[in-house]
Amino acid sequence: MGAQIVTNGSFNQVPADGLVPGARAEVEFFPVFAANQEAVLIAPRLSTGTLADGEFQYLSGNGGQARELFGAGSIGERMAKAFRRANQTQPLIVIALDDEGTGVEASTTRAITGTATTAAQMRIYVGRQAGVVGVDIGDTASVGGDAIVTAVTAGDEDGESLPVTASNSTGTVTFTCRHMGEMGNEIEIDLGTIPAGLSHTAPASLTMTSGAGNASHAGGIAALSAADPAYIVTPHTDDPNMDRWDTEMSDRWGPLRQQYGLVFSARRGTLNE
């Protein structure tokens, strides 16, 4: 928020036809944000996370602490680490949210058939993360499915947890998002190149489906009541939560609170969506 004095110019909100003499003032947006202003990440946690629903904490270091706070493979962990990779100095607050109790996890299946005739390594891609799957000669589809489950559980090539879990039933592998909600519908599952002898038909869309019921941000907004962050980041873009933020930020930018700040979010989709 910057300050600007209007001497012989026009106001944006004070009526220009107000002819009664006197002093006039209005609050206007002139963004002057500094790198040392606080940023807030509001994100879902897993049941293994130690940060309670609606609780906030300053995050130090490279973001590694987020695994303990939000749970391994959680959206909160991934967001915090991504933030710290891009920005290592800005003060960062994280706020945990519980998944919606009636929500549904996104999921998808991949069916493998046949028996491997060559020994090879295949890479399974979960979003942009890759896990390595070892396949030996004579491995059946069921054995290959078990190998995929092992790879997903182990994490990617850098040892980072994946945002999905996997289970296998005689070669049909089911991938399930760790979180309930719509975010899982944007995760792509790609089995890449299948070793000779095994076969797999990729679906028309690689993304998981059927995720529904996002976490409510009401508790997170309440936790911010006394804070004054310049930047707020959330992974959700559903209408109820966007309406909550619209109400909150309109109040923050009002003359009585004057706390200001900006909210950032993003989603995968086309312009029409």
* Neighbouring residues of 159: CB distance < 8 A, sequence distance ≥ 6: none
Q: What is the distance between the alpha carbons of residues 182 and 268, in angstroms, rounded to a whole number?
A: 11
Radius of gyration of the chain from its Cα atoms, rounded to whole angstroms: 24
246 phi and psi, to 5 degrees?
-60, -45
Cα distance between residue 163 and residue 79, in whole Å:
12
Asked whether the predicted pLDDT for residue 24 surpasses 80, the reply is no
Look at 26 and 213; give whichever has higher pLDDT. 213
Q: What is the pLDDT, as a whole number, of residue 93?
A: 93
Q: Tell me, what's the pLDDT at 6?
A: 47
Q: pLDDT tens for residues 63-92?
A: 889 999 999 999 999 999 999 999 988 899
Average the pLDDT over 138-144 and give the result.
95
The rounded distance, in Å, linking the Cα atoms of 273 and 253 is: 29
For residue range 151-184, list pLDDT tens digits in order. 999 998 888 899 999 999 999 999 999 999 999 9
91 vs 270, more confident = 91
Q: What are phi and psi of 145, to 5 degrees?
A: -65, -40
Catalogue the E-assigned strands of 100-229. Answer: 105-111, 113-114, 120-126, 129-135, 164-169, 172-180, 189-190, 198-199
Which of the four pLDDT bands, split at 50, 70 and 90, describes residue 113?
very high
Specify the pLDDT at position 272.
77
Whether the model pTM is above 0.95: no
3-state secondary structure of 117: coil
The rounded distance, in Å, linking the Cα atoms of 273 and 267 is 10
| More confident call, 259 vs 206 | 206
Would you tell me how many other CB atoms lie within 10 Å of the CB of residue 229?
21
- List of residues 6+ apart from 137 with CB closer than 8 A: 116, 117, 118, 119
Share of residues in the chain with pLDDT > 90 (%)? 64
CA angle 161, 165, 171 (to 5 degrees): 125
Dihedral sign, CA of 248, 254, 259, 261? Answer: positive
Which pLDDT belongs to residue 228? 84
